[in-house]
C-alpha cells in the first residue's frame, strides 16, 4: 500500500532536537500525566508516524502529542480517518530558514502569476490555500514558544501576512475563503506584533497592531480579534500605559466569544489581573485572578479552539501572569508561590516561558533576602534565552544589578559574575 511520509512531523522533531526514541519517551510521559497510566510507545511507533504508516494516532496519543508540542494533530501532518490527505510538498534538505523563505516565496509567486494580466484563466483560490497558510501559522507559533521575540520570527510572520493578502487578488474565491484569508493575514500580523512585543521593539509592535486590527475587522473572526486586542493590552502594560492597557483588554473581554467559551474569558481576566498588578492595585489583582481561575474551571476541554490558544493558555500560563502581577505589587512570597506552580505545570514546548518564569522566580527570591537561592535559580536559565531573548536578557541584567546592590561582596555576586562571563564567551 502506498504511504505518504509525514514531513511536517519530521520537520518539527528535527527543529526541536527529538530522535524517534526521545520523542516516544516524551509522548509516553505526557500520556501518563494525562491518563494516569504509562504510555506504550517506542521509537518504532514514532517511525510509523513519520513514514505515514499510521496517519491518525489513537486519541490518548493525540492528546499527548498536543501536550508535548502545543499543536493539534492536524497541524503536525496527521490526517483524520476518512479525510483524503493533501498532496505533500517534496522532502527538502535546506536549512529551516531557507525552507521558510522558500515557502513564503512560493505563495507570493503563485499570487503574482495568477494575477498577471493576460493569464489564460484566473486561478481559483480555495481552502487548500488557506490550509497551507494555517500549517505555516502553526509552525510560527511553535517557533515563538521555543525562541521568543526574535526579529526573524517577526519578519517571517509579517511576510506571510502579506502573502495571505496577496492571495486575495490572485484569483477568484468564495466569500468563505476570502474571510479565512483575512483571518490568516490577521493571525500572522498578530504574531509579528507579539514577537516585537516580546523582543521589546515596541514602536514596531504598535505598527503591526494597527494593521492586525484592521485585518481582524475584515475577517469578522472573533478569536483573532480577541488575540489582537488582548496583545494590545499586554503591549500597553509593558510600556507603562495602564489606562490604555485596561481599555484594550476590555475590548477583548467584551467580545461575545468570552461568554460562549469560559477559557477565553479566563485569559482576558488573567491579563486584566496582570494589568492591575502593574497599576499597583492589589484588590483588583486578587479579584481578577480569582475570577480567571473560576472561569478556567468551567471551560470544556473538548471545545474547539484555534491553535494559538491551545498552544499556550493553561494553568501554567495563568500562574505565569499571576507571578508577573504579584512581582509588580511587591508581594514576593505570593509571586514565588505562583512561580513554582507555573514551572511544575509548564509543557515541554514552552521553552521561552520557562526562561521568563525562572528569571522572575530568581527576582522574587532575591527580594525576600535569599541571594544564594536566587543566584542558583537564575543560573538555571538556558544560555540561548539569557543571551538572545531581549526580555530575559534585560531581566537578568536587572537581577545582577539588584544582587550586587543587596549582597555586595558576597560569594553569590562572585558566582553570578563568573556565570555571566561564561555566557558571554558562549555567544
Total residue count of the chain as it appears in this document: 427
Instruction: Judge if 215 and 230 occupy the same domain.
Output: no
Instruction: Judge if 154 and 262 occupy the same domain.
Output: no
Instruction: Judge if 279 and 383 occupy the same domain.
Output: no
Total structural domains in the chain?
A: 4
Higher per-residue confidence, 75 vs 91: 75
Instruction: Judge if 227 and 307 occupy the same domain.
Output: yes
The domain boundary, picked from 195, 220, 245, lies at: 220
Task: Render the burial of 222-235: b for 16+ CB within 10 Å, e for the rest.
Answer: bbbbbbbbbbbbbb
Whether 159 is in a domain gets the answer: yes
Whether 57 is in a domain gets the answer: yes
- Asked if 370 contacts 364 with a C-beta cutoff of 8 angstroms, the reply is no
- What pLDDT sits at residue 366? 96
**Could you tell me how far CA 306 lies from the centroid of its own chain?**
12
Instruction: Judge if 215 and 310 occupy the same domain.
Output: no
* Predicted confidence band of residue 108 (pLDDT cuts 50, 70, 90): very low
* CA atoms of 237 and 274, how far apart (whole Å): 8
Instruction: Judge if 104 and 203 occupy the same domain.
Output: yes
Residue pLDDT, tens place only, 136-148: 888 888 777 777 7
Residue with cell 558566582: 415
| 124: phi then psi, degrees, rounded to nearest 5 | -90, 125
- Cα–Cα distances in Å, from 47 out to 18, 52, 91, 138, 256? 12, 8, 16, 22, 43
Which residues lie across from 172 on neighbouring strands? 124
Q: Where are the alpha helices (DSSP H) in 80-221?
A: 96-115, 127-147, 151-168, 175-198, 202-219
The domain boundary, picked from 191, 220, 249, lies at: 220
* CA atoms of 142 and 273, how far apart (whole Å): 26
* CA atoms of 227 and 205, how far apart (whole Å): 14
Whether 342 is in a domain gets the answer: no
Instruction: Judge if 105 and 214 occupy the same domain.
Output: yes
- What pLDDT sits at residue 425? 62
Rounded to two decimals, the pTM is 0.72
Whether 1 is in a domain gets the answer: no
* CA atoms of 167 and 173, how far apart (whole Å): 9
Range of the domain at 207: 95-111+125-220
Half-sphere exposure of 250 (CA within 13 A, CB side): 7
Instruction: Judge if 196 and 107 occupy the same domain.
Output: yes
In this model, does residue 194 exceed pLDDT 60? yes
In 3D, which of 132, 104, 137 has the Cα closest to residue 309?
137
| Start-to-end Cα distance in the chain | 49
Instruction: Judge if 196 and 244 occupy the same domain.
Output: no
Instruction: Judge if 356 and 380 occupy the same domain.
Output: yes
Instruction: Judge if 206 and 227 occupy the same domain.
Output: no
In this model, does residue 246 exceed pLDDT 70? yes
Cell numbers that stand for 399 in this block: 537581577
The mean pLDDT value for 361-377 works out to 96
Instruction: Judge if 199 and 253 occupy the same domain.
Output: no
In this model, does residue 357 exceed pLDDT 70? yes
Amino acid at each position: 500500500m502506498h504511504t505518504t511520509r509525514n514531513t511536517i512531523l519530521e520537520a518539527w522533531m528535527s527543529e526541536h532536537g527529538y530522535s524517534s526514541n526521545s520523542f516516544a519517551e516524551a509522548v509516553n510521559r505526557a500520556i501518563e500525566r494525562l491518563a494516569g497510566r504509562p504510555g506504550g510507545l517506542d521509537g518504532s511507533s514514532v517511525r510509523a508516524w513519520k513514514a505515514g504508516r499510521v496517519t491518525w494516532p489513537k486519541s490518548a496519543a493525540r492528546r499527548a502529542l498536543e501536550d508535548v508540542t502545543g499543536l493539534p494533530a492536524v497541524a503536525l501532518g496527521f490526517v483524520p480517518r476518512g479525510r483524503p490527505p493533501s498532496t505533500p510538498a517534496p522532502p527538502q534538505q535546506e536549512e529551516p530558514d531557507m525552507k521558510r523563505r522558500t515557502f513564503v516565496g512560493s505563495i507570493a509567486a503563485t499570487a503574482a502569476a495568477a494575477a498577471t494580466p493576460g493569464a489564460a484563466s484566473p486561478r481559483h483560490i480555495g481552502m487548500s490555500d488557506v490550509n497551507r497558510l494555517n500549517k505555516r501559522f502553526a509552525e510560527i507559533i511553535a517557533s515563538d514558544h521555543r525562541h521568543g521575540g526574535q526579529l526573524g520570527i517577526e519578519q517571517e510572520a509579517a511576510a506571510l501576512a502579506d502573502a495571505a493578502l496577496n492571495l486575495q487578488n490572485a484569483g477568484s474565491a468564495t466569500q468563505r475563503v476570502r474571510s479565512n484569508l483575512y483571518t490568516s493575514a490577521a493571525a500572522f500580523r498578530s504574531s509579528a506584533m507579539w514577537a516585537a512585543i516580546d523582543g521589546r521593539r515596541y514602536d514596531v509592535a504598535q505598527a503591526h497592531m494597527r494593521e492586525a486590527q484592521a485585518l481582524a475587522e475584515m475577517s469578522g473572526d472573533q478569536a483573532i480579534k480577541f488575540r489582537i486586542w488582548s496583545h494590545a493590552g499586554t503591549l500597553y502594560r509593558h510600556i507603562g500605559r495602564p489606562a490604555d492597557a485596561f481599555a484594550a483588554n476590555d475590548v477583548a473581554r467584551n467580545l461575545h466569544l468570552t461568554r460562549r467559551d469560559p477559557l477565553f474569558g479566563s485569559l482576558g481576566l488573567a491579563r486584566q489581573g496582570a494589568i492591575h498588578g502593574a497599576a499597583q492595585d492589589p484588590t483588583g489583582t486578587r479579584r481578577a485572578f480569582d475570577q480567571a481561575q473560576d472561569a478556567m474551571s468551567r471551560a470544556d476541554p473538548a471545545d474547539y479552539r484555534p491553535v494559538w490558544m491551545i498552544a499556550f493558555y493553561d494553568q501554567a500560563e495563568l500562574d505565569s501572569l499571576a507571578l508577573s502581577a504579584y512581582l509588580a505589587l511587591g508581594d514576593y512570597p505570593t509571586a514565588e508561590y505562583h512561580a513554582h506552580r507555573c514551572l511544575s505545570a509548564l509543557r515541554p514546548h514552552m521553552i521561552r516561558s520557562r526562561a521568563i518564569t525562572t528569571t522572575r522566580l530568581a527576582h522574587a527570591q532575591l527580594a525576600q533576602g535569599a541571594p544564594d537561592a536566587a543566584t542558583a535559580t537564575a543560573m538555571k536559565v538556558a544560555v540561548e534565552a539569557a543571551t538572545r531573548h531581549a526580555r530575559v536578557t534585560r531581566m537578568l541584567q536587572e537581577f545582577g544589578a539588584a544582587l550586587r546592590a543587596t549582597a555586595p561582596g558576597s560569594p553569590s555576586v562572585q558566582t553570578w559574575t563568573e556565570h555571566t562571563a561564561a555566557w558571554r564567551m558562549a555567544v
